[in-house]
Structure 1
Amino acid sequence: MAKGGKGPKGRKITLNVAKNCIKVTFDGRKRLDLSKMGITTFPKCILRLNDVDELDLSRNMIRKIPESISKFQNLRWLDLHSNYIDKLPDSIGQISTLLYLNVSNNKLTSNGLPVELNQLKNIRTLNIGLNHLDSVPTTLGALKELHEVGLHDNLLNHIPQSIAKLPKLKKLNTKRNPFPKPEESELFLDSIRRLDTLYLVEEKDLCGPCLRKCQLARDKLNRIKTMAMGPPKKPIFSNLISPNSMAKDSQEDWRLRSNISLQ
């Protein structure tokens, strides 16, 4: 550590260095890749390159993202994983073009997630795993285009219904969170409560098709209650596919596949 306890000085990124780090993706988009550069401070010079479509600042030592990040008005893909960021700027909600945001493996707490995240109406992939979150804003339920959410390796004890019920959600990673008990999770109890409300009439008052429907629902309820009574054999989220790890040394293959799916 440097004298005075200020930490490593870090590499200085000049405008020329940044320009040389711009790559053109297979689909013709401009990607500024400054990952693994030993950067400790957000390089202000890259604000002059704010027409890029993708920005990768992952695997550095950055502690703060400035409000000026909103100047990247064409940004579709923002990767900040594996830094020391403890708070996201409010202005991040102004990047309306953003489809992919990865801030996993940082120092984020629940207070470090701005309410303005709910303005990212087009976002499809959000990874905030490997942080220090003890709760997730229910306002993220406003992001109706979300396909993938990473909440793994945090301090969560429940998942808000507003997120669990996102209409286009395909992948949800909640592994390694301190849920009290799998059978006591909010999703589990909610499924039981909703099934319990089915039995409000007697069998003789139902037509044949309605009776069969209720019997099927009752069988499903009994299976769930049986699972709750004994030790769970599988995690409650076992039916949800975990998104690919966002902290691997190489994300190029995943990024290419992701871009294809976002077309």
Structure 2
Amino acid sequence: MSKLTYLDLSHNKIKDITDLADITSRLVSTMDLSYNQIDYVPPEISRFYYELYFLYLNDNKLNYIPTDIFRLQYLKKVDLQRNPFPADEINAMTTRFRSTIPNCVVLI
């Protein structure tokens, strides 16, 4: 799978993405994990998918995003809509995205 650049695992009832890096390419530029049951994003996502441009995690069960995600310097769009984030987490994420990846479109 060394040439894989677009990964669409949406609508699969996935709960755990901890081992995702073991089965995918580091060259993934678009990752769609929307409409699953994911409640945890491992911090390693930023170290393994450092060339990620588009990340779709909308419609999951996330209430927290690891700070490592803000190291994804090439990120152009991240969709986190319709997750049960607490209000303070939404405010913190919005501020952090604006300061660390200012050109990224963030949907929360």
Pair in the same fold by TM > 0.5? yes
- 1:241 CA displacement: 5.1
Kindly indicate whether residue 12 of structure 2 is the aligned counterpart of residue 147 of structure 1. Answer: no
Kindly indicate whether residue 37 of structure 2 is the aligned counterpart of residue 132 of structure 1. Answer: yes
Counterpart of 2:62 (choices 150, 156, 162) is: 156
CA distance in 2, matches of 1:149, 1:138: 14
CA distance in 2, matches of 1:149, 1:190: 16
The answer (yes or no) to whether the contact 1:100–1:123 under 8 Å persists in 2 is yes
SS in 2 for 1:141: helix
The answer (yes or no) to whether the contact 1:108–1:132 under 8 Å persists in 2 is yes
Structure scoring higher RCO (CA < 8 A, sep ≥ 6) equals 2
CA distance in 2, matches of 1:173, 1:188: 12
- 1:173 CA displacement: 0.3
Report 1:198-213 matches (<5 A).
none
Question: In the alignment, residue 78 of structure 2 is paired with which amino acid?
Answer: L
Q: Select the structure that is richer in helix.
A: 1
- 1:114 CA displacement: 1.3
The answer (yes or no) to whether the contact 1:115–1:139 under 8 Å persists in 2 is no
Deviations 1:51-96 (A, max 9, x none): xxxxxxxxxxxxxxxxxxxxxxxxxxxxxxxxxxxxxxxxxxxx12
Q: Select the structure that is richer in strand.
A: 2
The answer (yes or no) to whether the contact 1:118–1:139 under 8 Å persists in 2 is no
SS in 2 for 1:158: coil
Deviations 1:78-127 (A, max 9, x none): xxxxxxxxxxxxxxxxx1211000001111002x5415348621110000
Alignment gaps of 5+ in structure 1 = 1-94, 195-238, 243-263
CA distance in 2, matches of 1:188, 1:175: 12
- 1:145 CA displacement: 0.9
Per the alignment, residue 184 of structure 1 pairs with 89
Per the alignment, residue 240 of structure 1 pairs with 105
Count of equivalent residues: 100
SS in 1 for 2:78: strand
SS in 1 for 2:93: helix
- 1:190 CA displacement: 5.4
Question: In the alignment, residue 51 of structure 2 is paired with which amino acid?
Answer: E
The answer (yes or no) to whether the contact 2:45–2:69 under 8 Å persists in 1 is yes
Aligned alpha-carbon RMSD (Å): 2.6
